[in-house]
């Protein structure tokens, strides 16, 4: 049973634009993919997780392709691949610049066709344990009526995504409305370990103008296709396809320390020279390869084929999260985790296209292993929430009670009755 806080598809996955990595071209290999990702993540990834990610990648693409994902292809059927920041080979597979929506369309159809029950507008607010400390279900809350329900389960998979709507350090975000770190809270409170919780990813190119789309993502694919980052003097101040943390830091430095940014109503920004894409690849490239970007700015009278756009980093991704072993299980028995809520696959910084990949590889992995474990687990009978009392007592003794309710479920500015 899938329980989802909003509607199925109200998710970061749906919004993913640029693509999904897999080393499936003759000049590439999972080993090279590993080296790129390991270096880009500051050599902090858990080796066994990263190994699984890159070695399962080519098969993951084939699986999606067979299910019906419409990847960009050459007339002879070869997949078109491009570079992402920090990649030494072109291994980004995409469906124009709405790769996530295309993957989600296909997987949502699978869920419907296989008759998997989906409960919309219902949030998990607490994991339930049995008397032996094994995950045994969750307390759920109907988002409209606030009614509380109990789901009893032999195994539980947390796949609640990221945390952008917490707006760390006051940044805008590219994330969907429900990205409020719920899974970290649920897992932590039952004793699952967090890894690299301090490592948030600020995507270098959030829209800085116009105000209506402040913080919305301008996909890295724009730079993959040839757009350059330019300061107020018209100078290219860095290589546009460095890893994301390096690029974001460079933009912030250019604006703050070097005073070379462009003033906007929201702060400062730098130019992203989008007309360079057509100059390098020929007329019509933007409409063909990044139509969603063209439409997003076109709505506000900005033709990105002719004019550059203003960008500044936006809070994008949670690099850290729940620690898992390579079967997808957290330190709590029968509690699995997959997707952005997991930490350790990418180390301290994720490369473009490796998250859609981890969602597929580790989502399938967690599903398969949780299903196998469920077969050998009896339906839990003695359910308990005693761990919450223990957690609250610890809060008192460490003087760290904040009085804030968690998980937050919706951002602080959500309209509430």
Ligand X SMILES: Cc1cc2nc3c(=O)[nH]c(=O)nc-3n(C[C@H](O)[C@H](O)[C@H](O)COP(=O)(O)OP(=O)(O)OC[C@H]3O[C@@H](n4cnc5c(N)ncnc54)[C@H](O)[C@@H]3O)c2cc1C
Contact call for residues 347 and 45 (beta carbons, < 8 A) = yes
Provide, rounded to whole angstroms, the least separation between the CB of residue 174 and ligand X.
4
Using Cβ positions, the residue closest to ligand X within the complex turns out to be: 339
Count Cβ atoms below 10 Å from residue 384 Cβ, excluding itself.
15
Catalytic residue of the set 203, 244, 316, 348 = 203
Q: Nearer to ligand X by C-beta: 4 or 231?
A: 4
Is position 305 annotated as part of the catalytic site?
no
Provide, rounded to whole angstroms, the least separation between the CB of residue 224 and ligand X.
10
Q: What does the block give as tokens for 320?
A: 């850290």
Contact call for residues 100 and 292 (beta carbons, < 8 A) = no
Footprint on this chain of ligand X (rule: CB under 6 A): 3-6, 10-13, 15-20, 99-100, 123-124, 159-162, 174-176, 178-179, 182, 217, 317, 339-341, 352-356, 359, 407
How many residues make up the chain in this entry? 417
Q: Nearer to ligand X by C-beta: 171 or 317?
A: 317
* Phi, psi angles (nearest 5°) of residue 37: -70, -35
Provide, rounded to whole angstroms, the least separation between the CB of residue 278 and ligand X.
22
Helix, strand and coil content of the chain, in percent to the nearest 5, comes to: 35, 20, 45
Q: Which residues share a beta bridge with 317?
A: 201
Q: How do strand 156-158 and strand 335-337 relate by DSSP bridges? A: parallel
Provide, rounded to whole angstroms, the least separation between the CB of residue 194 and ligand X.
16
Q: How do strand 135-142 and strand 148-152 relate by DSSP bridges? A: antiparallel
Q: Nearer to ligand X by C-beta: 102 or 254?
A: 102
Q: Nearer to ligand X by C-beta: 9 or 226?
A: 9
Q: Nearer to ligand X by C-beta: 32 or 232?
A: 32
- According to DSSP, residue 164 is labeled G
Provide, rounded to whole angstroms, the least separation between the CB of residue 140 and ligand X.
8
User: Tokens 């007592």 correspond to what residue?
Assistant: 393
Is position 223 annotated as part of the catalytic site?
yes
Coil, helix or strand for 142?
strand
Alpha carbon distance 269, 259 (integer Å): 10
Residues involved in catalysis: 203, 223
């Amino acid at each position: 049973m899938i329980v989802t806080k909003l509607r199925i598809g109200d998710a970061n996955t749906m919004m993913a634009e640029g693509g999904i990595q897999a080393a499936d071209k003759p000049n590439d290999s999972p080993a090279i993919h590993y080296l790129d990702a390991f270096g880009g993540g500051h050599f902090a990834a858990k080796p066994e997780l990263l190994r699984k990610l890159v070695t399962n990648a080519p098969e993951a693409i084939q699986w999606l392709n067979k299910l019906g994902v419409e990847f960009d292809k050459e007339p002879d059927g070869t997949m078109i691949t491009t570079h992402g920041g920090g990649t030494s080979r072109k291994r980004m597979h995409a469906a124009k610049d709405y790769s996530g929506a295309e993957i989600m369309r296909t997987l949502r159809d699978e869920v419907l066709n296989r008759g998997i029950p989906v409960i919309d507008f219902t949030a998990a607010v607490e994991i339930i344990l049995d008397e032996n400390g094994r995950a045994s279900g969750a307390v759920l809350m109907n988002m409209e009526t606030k009614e509380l329900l109990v789901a009893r389960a032999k195994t539980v998979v947390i796949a609640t995504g990221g945390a952008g709507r917490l707006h760390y350090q006051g940044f805008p975000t590219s994330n969907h409305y429900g990205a409020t770190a719920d899974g970290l809270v649920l897992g932590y409170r039952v004793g699952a370990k967090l890894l690299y919780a301090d490592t948030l990813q600020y995507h270098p190119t959030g829209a800085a103008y116009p105000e209506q789309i402040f913080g919305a993502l301008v996909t890295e694919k724009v730079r993959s296709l040839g757009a350059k980052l330019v300061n107020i003097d018209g100078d290219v101040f860095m290589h546009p396809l460095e890893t994301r943390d390096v690029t974001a830091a460079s933009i912030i430095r250019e604006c703050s320390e070097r005073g070379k940014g462009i003033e906007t109503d929201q702060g400062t920004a730098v130019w992203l020279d989008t007309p360079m894409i057509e100059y390098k690849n020929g007329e019509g490239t933007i409409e063909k390869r990044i139509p969603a970007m063209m439409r997003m700015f076109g709505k506000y009278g900005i033709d990105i084929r002719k004019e550059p756009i203003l960008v500044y980093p936006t809070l994008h991704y949670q690099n850290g999260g729940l620690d898992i072993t390579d079967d997808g299980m957290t330190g709590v028995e029968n509690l699995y985790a997959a997707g952005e809520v997991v930490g350790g696959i990418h180390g301290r910084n994720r490369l473009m296209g490796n998250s859609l990949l981890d969602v597929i590889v580790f989502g399938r992995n967690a599903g398969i292993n949780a299903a196998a474990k469920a077969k050998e687990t009896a339906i839990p009978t003695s359910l308990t929430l005693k761990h919450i009392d223990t957690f609250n007592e610890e809060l008192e003794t460490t003087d760290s009670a904040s009085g804030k309710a968690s998980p937050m479920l919706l951002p602080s500015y959500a309209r509430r009755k």
